[in-house]
């Protein structure tokens, strides 16, 4: 998840000269010299003058992908003056809420954005794929994509193309222009083989050398992002593992952001493509790292962490805004249409939860909001002060229509006419049959390299660490789906209308469970699917299988399931779930309290008391003590009820209802005079 130009002036000139706009790039070029040290980071500098695209002819498209960008954050930062370029873009252009789909996973949705088709058709469904020959899980690659992307279609139509960093694009693809795969980013791919990273291949050595300058962020530079002394930053980066350490991860994210933008900017200036696509992962990664450390302060955030990390998000987005300004300059000078969008939003405000960690595998995805950002600015855009609405399926048809190229027959969306009222609907063709996709040869990763990638995914909350590292090889030409990929396919199918989609979801979940019988998530999803069908027996069976397989928070899951049954007047089903939960988790005070209160509501106070009796002596829960007070009052055990309520008030005196209940009990016939707790 990236002044004057002083870095690598000579080296980059050689690097970029190998990529000419007039024809397909040459295959060989002189290796660039090692760049001179930069006087300032590349994000703070831009060339004073550049060759502009000649006026007339086709209007180009510059398309920037900012992962996880959310209006709640950028609206605040624009209003506060931290993102002046974004504020200008919104004032002079068009914006819309961009609705994504489930599952909201970056490789999946960014591939939809680049193809216009749904994940069941494009085939990219996870952060990993299964090597068809060995069964080893590997980083997701372009080989999993089953349809041509917009850059392939543009190339086939004779347009020039430049792509840098887009998700699931390794190894690089042959286009009429330049292509740098997602492995250029150090956030997840540092340390992996760089073979096949760039097309033309002569760019690869220059990319590697530029990584050494732009990709490295000094301890001193990080003091602008985190309130820590330089020596403390140095210790953090030395002693704690990369992605698991927020300071080290932040440095890596800043470096990747600089590198991707610098590469794309310089390659763009040399080649002036008709279509430029640049992807930045850091806008999402920074959210997972620091969303709990921004104001307003969350109860679970310490004062120390707020002071240390509270400025990191604003400072990073200030960097992103500078880079956005550099691309706005190019769009303005070259008569281009600038498209900026995210794949989903992010929870930055009151929706944040202390119960759901942003880097925990079970809850990281919860931080993704379904609605993200779309913005258009520059040539052909109709400005509007009103924020519109679009979906992730609409972006590819919009860009294709701007370029005058076809879309696939299975594309779901339409051009976003709020921004482009006169834009025609692009023609539909069977692109998989007519458009060639040619990729470079990438290296076969070792088990240790694949394992290192998996560790980074775990640190960001995308894997739990319990997954098998290897599955049975498929023996087919394309990589196979992981068990998580099958689960994600089931999630997508389950969100689609119709009986066929429902059956497809069931089959996908069962395939995920077949590949990994201990994988709790598809078991829970299968329970939800059966419940939606009205098959409560099978639903509850799979619910408790999921819990036995390690689904997190069994207390919360059982209670939520029972409460949902009760809300739908399925009282018998709610009771059965609570009883089974109490049997499976006899030490769960929460589940047994809920069951006791259900018995109490049905006037079976003796059974209710038996459920809570094991906890009566030692509990410190006011909820449990209050339930005991109610139940023992129901049984006529007035003094026991008084004792339970008084213990509850000793823990939390500010319970008016309990105070009144206690007063009734103590002032009743034959009771002693009312006493203070």
Measured at the CA of 655, the angle between CA 649 and CA 658, to 5 degrees, comes to 75
**Is the pLDDT score of 54 beyond 60?**
yes
Backbone angles phi, psi at 644, to 5 degrees: -65, -45
Q: Can you count the helices (H) and strands (E) in the chain?
A: 28, 15
- CA dist., res. 165 & res. 156, Å (int): 21
* pLDDT tens profile 651-674: 999 999 999 999 988 876 544 444
Domains of the chain (ranges; CATH) run: 9-45+56-434 (3.40.720.10), 482-547 (1.25.40.10), 553-677 (1.25.40.10)
477, 610, 503: which is closest to 145 by C-alpha?
477
Percent of the chain with pLDDT over 90: 75
- Scanning 496-570, the segments in alpha helix (DSSP H) are 499-515, 520-533, 536-548, 554-567
Mean pLDDT (whole number) for 16-39 = 38
Asked whether the predicted pLDDT for residue 381 surpasses 70, the reply is: yes
> Which pLDDT band holds residue 239 (cuts at 50, 70, 90)?
confident
- pLDDT at residue 364, as a whole number: 85
Higher pLDDT, 29 or 323: 323
DSSP-derived secondary structure letter, 60: P
Contact 280, 319 (CB under 8 A): no
The pLDDT confidence band at residue 533, using thresholds 50, 70 and 90, is very high
Query: Per-residue pLDDT tens for 425-445?
Result: 999 999 999 999 999 998 787
Please name the residue ranges forming H helices in 585-621.
Answer: 589-601, 605-612
Tell me the per-residue pLDDT of 573-623, one tens digit each, with 9 for 90 and over.
999 999 999 999 999 999 999 999 999 999 999 999 999 999 999 999 999
Element (H or E) spanning 389, and its range?
strand 388-391
Angle subtended at Cα 617 by Cα 615 and Cα 621, rounded to the nearest 5 degrees: 60
For 255-279, the pLDDT digits (tens) are 999 999 999 999 999 999 999 999 9
Contact status, residue 261 vs residue 326, Cβ threshold 8 Å = yes
> Among 95-99, 326-330, 419-423, 549-553, which is the least confidently predicted range?
549-553
Query: Regarding predicted confidence, which is higher, 149 or 365?
Result: 149
Contact 342, 110 (CB under 8 A): no
**Residue that has been written with the tokens 């928070």 in this structure:** 553
Give me the phi and psi of 337, to 5 degrees please: -95, 125
Region label for 393, one of left (φ > 0), alpha (ψ between -120 and 50) or beta (otherwise): alpha
Whether the CB-CB separation of 407 and 397 falls below 8 Å is answered with: yes
Q: Which tokens hold the place of 348?
A: 């930055």
Q: Residue 248 in 3-state DSSP?
A: helix
Please name which of 180, 96, 61 lies closest in space to residue 414, comparing C-alpha atoms: 96
Q: Are 186 and 215 in contact (CB under 8 A)?
A: yes
Which range has highest mean pLDDT (44-48, 235-239, 423-427)? 423-427
C-alpha 657/C-alpha 664 separation (Å) is 11
Binned at pLDDT 50, 70 and 90, residue 195 comes out as confident
Encode pLDDT of 538-574 as tens digits.
Answer: 999 999 999 999 998 999 999 999 999 999 999 999 9
Rounded Cα distance, 399 and 337, in Å: 9
Structure confidence at residue 216 (pLDDT): 87
Strand partners, 279: 65
Token code pair at residue 440: 């470079």
Q: Tell whether the model's pLDDT for residue 190 goes beyond 90.
A: no
Inter-axis angle of helices 246-271 and 312-334, nearest 10: 0
Residues 296, 302, 306, 309, CA torsion sign: negative
Q: Can you tell me whether residue 32 is helix, strand or coil?
A: coil
Residue 29, pLDDT > 50, answer no
Confidence band for 16, pLDDT divided at 50, 70 and 90? very low
pLDDT, residue 461, reads 66
Q: What are phi and psi of 67, to 5 degrees?
A: -65, 130
For 2-85, list the strands marked E by DSSP: 61-66
pLDDT at 186: 66
For residue 123, pLDDT beyond 50? yes
Tell whether the model's pLDDT for residue 6 goes beyond 90: no
Model confidence at 118: pLDDT above 60: yes
Is residue 23 pLDDT above 50, yes or no? no
Whether residue 521 contacts residue 551, with contact meaning beta carbons closer than 8 Å, is answered with yes
324, 327, 278: which is closest to 180 by C-alpha? 278
pLDDT for residue 462 is more than 90:
no
Distance from C-alpha of 549 to C-alpha of 543, rounded to nearest angstrom? 10
**Which of 172 and 5 is assigned the larger pLDDT?**
172
Residue 610 — φ and ψ, nearest 5°?
-65, -35
């Amino acid at each position: 998840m990236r002044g004057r130009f002083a870095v690598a002036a000579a080296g980059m000139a050689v690097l970029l000269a190998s990529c000419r706009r007039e024809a397909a790039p040459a295959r060989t070029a002189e290796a660039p010299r090692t760049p001179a040290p930069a006087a300032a980071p590349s994000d703070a500098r831009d060339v004073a003058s550049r060759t502009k695209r000649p006026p007339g002819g086709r209007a180009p498209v510059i398309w920037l992908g900012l992962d996880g960008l959310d209006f709640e954050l950028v609206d605040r930062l624009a209003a506060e003056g931290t993102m002046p370029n974004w504020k200008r873009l919104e004032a002079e252009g068009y914006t819309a809420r961009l609705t994504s789909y489930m599952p909201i996973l970056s490789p999946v949705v960014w591939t939809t954005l680049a193809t216009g088709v749904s994940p069941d058709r494009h085939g990219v469904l996870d952060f990993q794929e299964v090597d068809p020959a060995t069964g080893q899980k590997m980083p997701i690659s372009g080989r999993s994509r089953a349809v041509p992307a917009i850059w392939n279609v543009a190339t086939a139509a004779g347009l020039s193309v430049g792509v840098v960093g887009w998700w699931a694009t390794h190894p690089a693809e042959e286009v009429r222009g330049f292509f740098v795969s997602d492995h250029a980013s150090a956030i997840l791919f540092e340390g992996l083989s760089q073979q096949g990273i760039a097309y033309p291949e002569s760019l690869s050595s220059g990319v590697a050398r530029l990584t050494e300058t732009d990709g490295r962020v000094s301890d001193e530079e990080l003091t602008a992002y985190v309130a820590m002394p330089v020596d403390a930053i140095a210790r953090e980066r030395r002693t704690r593992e990369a992605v698991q350490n927020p300071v080290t991860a932040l440095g890596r994210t800043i470096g990747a952001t600089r590198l991707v933008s610098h590469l794309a900017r310089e390659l763009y200036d040399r080649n002036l493509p008709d279509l430029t696509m640049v992807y930045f992962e850091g806008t999402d990664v920074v959210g997972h790292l620091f969303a709990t450390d921004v104001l307003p302060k969350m109860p679970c955030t310490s004062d120390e962490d707020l002071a240390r990390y509270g400025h990191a998000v604003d400072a990073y987005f200030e960097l992103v805004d500078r880079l956005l300004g550099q691309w706005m300059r190019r769009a303005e000078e070259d008569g281009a249409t600038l498209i900026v969008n995210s794949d989903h939003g992010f929870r930055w405000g009151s929706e944040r939860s202390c119960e759901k960690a942003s880097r925990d595998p079970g809850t990281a995805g919860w931080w993704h909001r379904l609605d993200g950002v779309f913005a258009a600015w520059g040539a052909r855009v109709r400005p509007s002060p009103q924020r519109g609405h679009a979906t992730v399926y609409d972006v590819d048809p919009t860009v294709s229509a701007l370029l005058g190229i076809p879309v696939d027959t299975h594309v779901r969306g339409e051009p976003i006419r709020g921004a482009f009222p006169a834009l025609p609907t692009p023609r539909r063709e069977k692109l998989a049959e007519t458009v060639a996709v040619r990729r470079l040869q990438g290296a076969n990763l070792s088990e240790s390299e694949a394992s290192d990638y998996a560790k980074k995914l775990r640190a960001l909350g995308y894997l739990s660490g319990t997954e098998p590292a290897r599955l049975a090889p498929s023996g087919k030409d394309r990589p196979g789906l992981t068990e998580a990929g099958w689960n994600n396919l089931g999630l997508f199918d389950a969100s689609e209308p119709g009986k066929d989609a429902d059956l497809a979801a069931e089959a996908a979940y069962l395939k995920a469970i077949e590949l990994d019988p201990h994988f709790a998530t598809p078991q829970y999803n299968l329970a939800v699917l059966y419940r939606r069908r009205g098959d409560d027996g099978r639903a509850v069976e799979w619910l408790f299988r999921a819990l036995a397989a390690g689904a997190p928070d069994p207390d919360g899951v059982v209670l939520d399931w029972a409460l949902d049954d009760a809300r739908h007047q399925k009282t018998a089903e709610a009771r059965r779930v609570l009883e089974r939960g109490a049997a499976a988790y006899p030490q769960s005070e929460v589940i047994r309290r809920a069951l006791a209160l259900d018995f109490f509501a049905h006037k079976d106070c003796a059974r209710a008391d038996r459920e809570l009796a094991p906890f009566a002596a030692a509990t410190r829960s006011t909820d449990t003590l209050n339930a005991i007070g109610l139940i023992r009052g129901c049984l006529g055990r007035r003094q026991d009820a008084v004792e339970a309520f008084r213990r509850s008030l000793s823990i939390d005196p500010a319970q008016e209802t309990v105070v009144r209940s206690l007063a009734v009990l103590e002032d009743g016939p034959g009771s002693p005079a009312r006493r203070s707790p």
